[in-house]
Amino acid sequence: MKAGSNLEKVLESGRFAVTAEAGPPKGTSAAVVQKKAETLRNACDAVNITDNQTAIVRMCSLAGCVIVKQQGVEPVMQMVVRDRNRIAIQSDVLGAIALGIRNILCLTGDHQKFGNHPSARGVYDIDSIQLIQTLKRMRDEKKFINGEDISGEVPLFIGAAENPFADPFEFRVIRLAKKIEAGADFIQTQAVYDVPKFKRWMEMVTERGLDKKTHILAGIIPIRAVGMARYMRDNVPGISLPNELVTRMEQATSGKEEGLKIALETIEQMKEIPGVHGIHIMAVGWEDIVPTLVERVKLLPRPVL
């Protein structure tokens, strides 16, 4: 075991993992985070706490993770390279470990232009692949980037994201291989709507044997309403949402029901794809749906290891 986290145990035991995502508030209330943790408690193996997602200022991921952990729910700390240089990153990692956080997900982060402080200076001192490398070196060699020694243990289960739907398509697998080589123990993908494209990508992944070197969790974002489907199709860079899903949402009597159905079908398909080791549900602002979703795809109860 690298970190002994619950997520690591579930994945290493060969079980199909379930993670979910929760966004901290644009404010100071711990209760908001606690409530989300309660909702997700029995429905997943770990909860990702986002890091100023879409470059909108929110409570920091580290604090969110600690609050979730105090509730007895395992956090995955998301960390973007947009806002911190290597000094701040390594310092945050030490602090996170001291506070009992074991899973860290390494991300580039959405460009600051998209957020609520578009005039901010982007940091990008190191990139997401270099962040993975940094965490691996901190864990395996107990060394900082500069080669100096870290005191104490550095148990970490290192995650990364990958978007099979971004371009150039053939390069996405090479990039995944680089992330694995850098040290990614698990991968959470961008939301899957275009299942055939995802399958093609997974074939390339398994051909290279990459599924044996990391754990791939397929991303799921349940659609709540037809407007959301259209917005994601047209405005979210790197999401591929086929027109037929928009049509399905348009024709449905209940958007929520149809969205749930689409998510259920997608998860069932993910369970069948060779090399997929779990799902990552990003029902941001609709966390309530997660227990229902996980129950209906027969992934409950979650294992206690």
CA 213 to chain centre: 18
Q: Which of residues 33-92 bind another protein (CB under 8 A)?
A: 82, 86
Residue 285 burial by CB count (10 A; 0-12/13-18/19+): exposed, middle or buried? exposed
Give residue for tokens 């961008």: 190
Verify binding: residue 162, another protein, rule CB under 8 A.
Answer: yes
Q: With respect to another protein, which residue has the nearer C-beta, 4 or 122?
A: 122
Q: CA–CA separation, 156 vs 282, rounded Å?
A: 23
Q: Which of residues 190-229 bind another protein (CB under 8 A)?
A: 190
Q: What is the DSSP letter of 4?
A: -
Q: In the set 59, 154, 161, 218, which binds another protein (CB under 8 A)?
A: 161
Q: In the set 166, 204, 225, 284, which binds another protein (CB under 8 A)?
A: 166
SS3 164: coil
Q: What is the DSSP letter of 79?
A: E
Going by C-alpha positions, the residue among 26, 54, 3, 9 that lies closest to residue 215 is 9
CA 53 to chain centre: 11
Q: With respect to another protein, which residue has the nearer C-beta, 68 or 161?
A: 161
Q: With respect to another protein, which residue has the nearer C-beta, 26 or 113?
A: 113
| Contact criterion met (CB below 8 Å) for 191 and 252 | no
Question: To which H or E segment does residue 171 belong?
Answer: helix 169-182
Binding pattern to another protein, positions 236-275, x when CB under 8 A?
Answer: -xx-------------------------------------
Stretch that binds another protein, among 60-68, 98-106, 176-184, 247-255 (CB under 8 A): 176-184
Q: Which of residues 95-154 bind another protein (CB under 8 A)?
A: 108, 110-111, 113-114, 122, 124-130, 133-134, 145
| Contact criterion met (CB below 8 Å) for 167 and 175 | no
Q: With respect to another protein, which residue has the nearer C-beta, 161 or 279?
A: 161
Q: With respect to another protein, which residue has the nearer C-beta, 38 or 181?
A: 181
Residues that bind another protein (CB under 8 A): 82, 86, 108, 110-111, 113-114, 122, 124-130, 133-134, 145, 161-163, 166-168, 171, 174-175, 177-178, 181-182, 190, 237-238
